[in-house]
Amino acid sequence: MPTTISSWIQNRRASQEKWQKDPLEKEENFLIISAFEQLLNNKLSASSTASRINGIVSPRLISGLRASVGCIWSLFADATKHFGTSHTQQLADVIIAIRELPDVVNEKGYKVIRSGEVLWRGMPDFGWIFAEHGVQINGTDGMTYDEWHSQEEELLNATVLVATLMQRGGSFGIGMMYHAHDAFNEIELPFDDEREMADEWKMYIPPAEAWMSIAGEKLFGLCFDKSVIHSAEPYESLRKAFNADRWALWKQRFAELAEQEDIDERCRGLARKAVEKMRDIEQRVQL
């Protein structure tokens, strides 16, 4: 049964009630969840949601009594998995609006920092929390076929959001490289009997196609524009993962998957769509 906004809000509040031991932080998190409820019900704009979240947490961030903003990012990750199809742009708008808020400063005029990053433009802990709670799925160990494949929609929803953030650019452009790299890694090897779970193509072809469909131009730039690649420092390993050879390999793999007879027509169609998108980008984008 699909998750409704009201049931999701109820579950998030119940989780806070159970696990959050700091009463002041629990109260703040309840208010943040209420802001999400208004946002998802189209009663609060993206910019107003960002400002409200800032207003809720900044006093205790400034005083040092609130150590982390991780709860905020985990709410975005969870909301994305459940409502990505209908609320992707809305959630992306709020994340970007938060990043664009003025720096949080204390009474002495010093910028407030968490995990080595300035609030909010540094988006402290956003990357790893969204990876762990949004894009990553459970491995195959101990899971049945149906249990493992039930994660397909959540993975696709989370992928659409991170690809949208890459497409929208700014500091998210480089940060989202990790997720794109992981998605394409999953289609580079054959979908055959060596895979741990049957029909893994159902899980991995749709996210890879979504990356190309949404952020293909950005990926093309990462692979071919030396100035973009150079700006990726200090992400040396990722710089090596985005180049002309990898672009050619992705296109080859999509073309092969489009013709693979033991893959269903839906995913073969997505693979064909990805090839067409890549060809269009090659002809249209001037670097």
C-alpha distances in angstroms, 99 versus 11, 36, 95, 145, 177? Answer: 27, 17, 6, 39, 18
- Span 21-53, pLDDT tens digits: 999 999 999 999 999 999 999 999 999 999 999
Query: Under DSSP, is residue 139 helix (H, G, I), strand (E, B) or coil?
Result: coil
Mean pLDDT of 119-140: 90
Who has greater pLDDT, 36 or 221? Answer: 36
To 5 degrees, how large is the angle CA 251–CA 252–CA 257? Answer: 100
- Span 76-85, pLDDT tens digits: 999 999 887 7
Name the nearest CA neighbour of 75 among 138, 153, 16, 163.
Answer: 16
Say whether pLDDT at 226 is over 80. Answer: no
User: pTM, whole model, 2 decimals?
Assistant: 0.91
Who has greater pLDDT, 80 or 175? Answer: 80
Name the nearest CA neighbour of 4 among 103, 91, 82, 66.
Answer: 82
What average pLDDT does the structure give for the chain?
91
Quick one: pLDDT band at residue 104, thresholds 50, 70, 90?
A: very high
Name 28's Cβ contacts closer than 8 Å, sequence gap at least 6: 56, 57, 60, 66
Please tell me the predicted confidence (pLDDT) of residue 229.
Answer: 53
Quick one: pLDDT band at residue 172, thresholds 50, 70, 90?
A: low
Mean pLDDT of 193-221: 95
Say whether pLDDT at 261 is over 90. Answer: yes
Mean pLDDT of 86-94: 92
Mean pLDDT of 251-261: 97
Residue 242 CB neighbour total at 10 angstroms = 24
Say whether pLDDT at 239 is over 80. Answer: no
Look at the block and give the residue holding tokens 């049931």: 7
Q: Where are the domains of the chain?
A: 5-118, 138-284
Please tell me the predicted confidence (pLDDT) of residue 287.
Answer: 65
Say whether pLDDT at 244 is over 70. Answer: yes
Say whether pLDDT at 174 is over 60. Answer: yes
State the Cα–Cα distance between residues 66 and 1, nearest whole angstrom. 36
Who has greater pLDDT, 3 or 145? Answer: 145
